[in-house]
A and B are shown apart, each in its own frame.
Chain A
Amino acid sequence: MNSPEPRSDSPRISYRLAIASTLSAGAALLLAVVLLIIVEFFTLRSTLLDETRVKAAVIADNVSAALVFQDAQATGEIIRTLRASPIVEGAAAIDGDGVTLASYPQGFANVAPDMQRFRQEDHQFSLQRLEMLAPVKHNGERIGSLYVAVSMSALHRQLAVFALVSLSIAVLAMLVAYTLLSRVRHSVRQAEQKLTHLAHVDAVTGLSNRNAFNERLEFAIREAGQFQETVAMLLLDLDNFKQVNDTLGHQAGDELLRVIGQRIVRTLRREDFVARLGGDEFAVILRNVNARSEAMQVCTKLVDTIALPVPIEGHDFFVTASIGVAFFPDDGEDSKTLTRNADTAMYQAKIAGKNAFELFLPAMNADVKKRVSMETCLRGALQNGELSLHYQPKIDLMSGSLLGFEALLRWKNGQMGGMVSPADFIPVAEDSGLIVPIGEWVIEQALADLRRWNEGRRKKLHIAVNLSARQLKVDGIARRIAQLVAESAVPAEWLELELTESMVMENVHAQIETFQELRKFGVRLAIDDFGTGYSSMSYLKRLPIDTLKIDRSFVNELPKNNNDLAIATAIVALGHSLGLTVVAEGIETEAQADALLNLGCDIGQGYLYAKPMPADRIEQYLSVLKLRP
């Protein structure tokens, strides 16, 4: 399933190329052989001509006296010496009048009528024979001619042998060259395959890499487009891989990636495709998906399998995955769009709380756009003074007196359409890291306001500020907060930091040190939204906290809802048994306040007492309070 590249038809092409190059080499060799044969033919013919001319000249010289004396017998004897040469077909001595004096063999054609043919040259070539007419001279005078006919058959035989040998050599050379070439080709192909392998395989997990993934996705899209099939593209990101990598080192991180990679592979069908794109990002291609539910089933299985503990170096590690899914052709017609949309869906899965999957929806793009523009606006919010704090009073339920405020962040931006809900912009601030400077500004501003309000007050008020998870991860956050408190020139115990229950419990042993440090500086700590998360009682006991805040969901239906009443009762009892102050928020009616007071809850906060107010209204609120008895 993870053969890196889609099988192309390149081997067939290279085979055809090899055939073509061999054929052309063969044609060139054949042409060379033909040319050689032609050259050889003319060389052989020229040699034959020279030899025949020499032979004829020798005989012509010998026969001159016999011709002078008209001695036919002697003439015949002399020319018959040519019989020693098997290629000579026959010869004749012709006297000055063109009469044949002697010839051999018997009945050899009388050539006299043909003597005209030798006017231009002393020889004539035909297909079968070479004919030569050599002059017979005596004392410088031509007294006759010697006619010699030489068979060409020997030359033809030589030529045939030459052609055969040349062709054999050519064929042999071709074979040798072909063998060498194919050997070279083979090693080149091997090298290419190795390079392809290197270029397409992720070294850590042995899965395909981003390169191979891109190719495979293109291929899958092309094929699905032809057959009207649906392709699902899954983008999978491990949620807390960085922690493992940071705490255990890269080797353990690599091992974790390998294990996760194998789990993904085992979860899928054979024809599906997995790649590691880099970092903690994996991608899966599901081809020929019949229904969206099919992809969802795969996602569910993946999320569940990945969440299982991973044993590394004797410890069990937990990682979770967020998966984004985009479908071809519904969510994108090309690989780029598809990848981008799968990424958007994955991002949504992360926002939705991780360890989950999301199918891409076109609205997500709008969400993402909104988030991006919100982030851009938020960057300028601090400088432009668009941020402000509202304060909600906290009341002693028993006495009804004011104890302090909870500071709540507000953002007003014209581009975003006025007031922006904290539920919308706080996650953006967290993701972008803007929460860190903003959080510091909140503490500074709140402490500055509080200092002003506490001036001349006998009973000093305190202020509660919410701290986000992202802020808690900043290195040396405790010292930074202590520094801010010191710069504000207020006692540290005026400041209470509120942390949500889920935030505290998520990584409790990593944060316990930070809490202890903060506590050492004198800052008070509160657990917000208590009852909604999963608290470990043993941790709760060890945490240096001062306050528990009952979540507003349990206050809403008090006192009628018995379940809520039971929970509220339990939380108050638990808080008090641990020596903590218990706060109830979201109190809107006297009945709720009475019920909570009856339970023994210490502090109340809600519309019944006061809505959150901007700082200038607080001054007014305080002055009104003073007038009261």
Chain B
Amino acid sequence: MRPPSRLLAAVRLLLLLATPSAFAQAPEHDLKAAFIYNFIQFTQWPEAAMKGGTINLCSSSGTLLNMALQGIAGKTAHGRAIAIVPLAGAAPGDCHVVVATEDDRGRAAMVRRIAGGGAVLSITDDPEILREGLLIGMALDGKRITFTIDNSRAAAAGLVLSSRLLRLARSVQ
């Protein structure tokens, strides 16, 4: 069974992104965006949370990571397209995914509020914001990106993170 050619192209793109050579040259934020896309793919939301036709990824506009995330906008995961939604205008319940960066330290309360609003996969690359109770924390270890997962909190939020993903995490709580 051959996948449709458009899908094949998308995969090719992803695979291109995923090659070590691509990792080596890709800017740090593009790499992080690819990781975030992969996290989405290995996460299962409760059915009730998936009301709309898209997976909404809330991220503060204007950050470098947000710009990189634009690259995965429109890609599909779980049969839904990913939509990048500005974090500022978002209300609890709007976001399926929240991505916070160092720049969001001032909006920590808001991030916390939105991230705590049900089945939300919260991701950050900032250790400080991670302490606000976010689920996945990314860090740069030399040229490699590593991540930690707070699986008990994810479970409490109603998310199921794939065991395959958990096994790749540097630490799992």
Instruction: List residues of A whose CB falls within 8 A of some B CB.
Output: 62, 64-66, 68-71, 74, 78, 95-97, 99, 138-141, 143
Report whether B164 and A95 are in contact in the complex, using a CB–CB cutoff of 8 Å: no
Min C-beta distance of B147 to chain A, whole Å? 9
Tell me if A70 and B18 are in contact (CB < 8 A). yes
Chain B: minimal CB distance from A624 (Å) = 154
Smallest Cβ distance from A99 to chain B, in angstroms?
7
Which residue of the partner chain B has the closest CB to A72? B20
Q: Are A95 and B15 in contact (CB under 8 A)?
A: yes
CB-CB under 8 A for A99 and B20, given A62-B164, A65-B167, A138-B41: yes
Q: Which of B19-61 contact A (CB under 8 A)?
A: 19-20, 23, 35, 38, 41-42
Question: B167, A97: Cβ atoms under 8 Å?
Answer: no
A95 touches B167 (CB 8 A): no
Taking a contact as CB atoms closer than 8 A, the residue among A69, A95, A99, A138 that contacts B168 in the complex is A69
Check if B11 is an interface residue, CB within 8 A of chain A: yes
User: Does B162 touch A at the CB level, under 8 Å?
Assistant: yes
- B165 lies within 8 A of chain A by Cβ: yes
A65 touches B19 (CB 8 A): no
Residues of B within 8 A of A (CB): 3, 7, 11-12, 15, 18-20, 23, 35, 38, 41-42, 77, 162, 164-165, 167-168
CB distance from A212 to the nearest CB of B (A): 90
Chain B interface mostly: helix
| Nearest 9 pairs of A and B residues by beta carbon | A65-B164, A96-B15, A74-B168, A141-B11, A71-B168, A68-B38, A70-B18, A65-B165, A69-B168
A-chain residues with CB within 8 Å of residue B7 when the two chains form the complex: 141
Residues of chain B contacted by A138 (CB below 8 angstroms): 41
Question: What residues of A have a CB within 8 angstroms of the CB of B165 in the complex?
Answer: 65
**What residue in chain A is nearest B165 (Cβ atoms)?**
A65
- A65-B42, A70-B23 given as contacts; is B164 within 8 A of A97 (CB)? no
- Name which residue of chain A comes closest to B166, CB basis: A65
Across the interface, which residues of A come within 8 angstroms of B167, CB to CB?
62, 65-66, 74, 78
Whether B18 contacts A68 by the Cβ 8 Å rule is yes
A78 to B41, alpha carbons, bound, how many Å?
A: 20
Bound Cα distance A613, B77 (Å)? 158
Residues of A within 8 A of B77 (CB): 139
Q: Which residues of B contact A65 (CB under 8 A)?
A: 38, 42, 162, 164-165, 167-168
What are 29 A-B pairs with beta-carbon distances under 8 A?
A64-B164, A65-B38, A65-B42, A65-B162, A65-B164, A65-B168, A66-B164, A66-B167, A66-B168, A68-B18, A68-B38, A68-B41, A69-B168, A70-B18, A70-B20, A70-B23, A74-B167, A74-B168, A78-B167, A95-B19, A96-B15, A96-B18, A97-B15, A97-B19, A99-B19, A139-B41, A139-B77, A140-B3, A141-B3
B42 proximity list for chain A (CB < 8 A): 65, 68
Complex CA–CA separation, A62 to B167 (angstroms):
9
A143 touches B164 (CB 8 A): no
Distance between B42 CB and nearest chain A CB, rounded to angstroms: 6
Docked pose: A90 CA to B35 CA in angstroms: 30
Residue from A62, A78, A141 with most neighbouring chain B CB atoms (10 Å): A141
Which residues of B have CB within 8 Å of A68? 18, 38, 41-42
- Of the listed residues B35, B164, B167, the one surrounded by the most CB atoms of chain A closer than 10 A to its CB is B164
Q: How far is the CB of B28 from chain A (nearest CB, A)?
A: 15
Q: In the complex, which residue of chain A has the Cβ closest to the Cβ of B144? A: A71
- Note all chain A residues with C-beta closer than 8 A to B18: 68, 70, 95-96
CA distance A74 to B12 in the complex (A): 23
Given A65-B38, A141-B7, 8 more A-B residue pairs with CB atoms under 8 Å apart are A65-B164, A65-B167, A68-B38, A68-B41, A74-B168, A95-B15, A99-B20, A143-B15
CB-CB nearest in chain B for A96: B15
A316: min CB distance to chain B, Å: 120
Tell me how far the C-beta of B145 lies from the nearest C-beta in chain A, rounded to whole angstroms: 9
Residue of A nearest to B18 (CB): A70
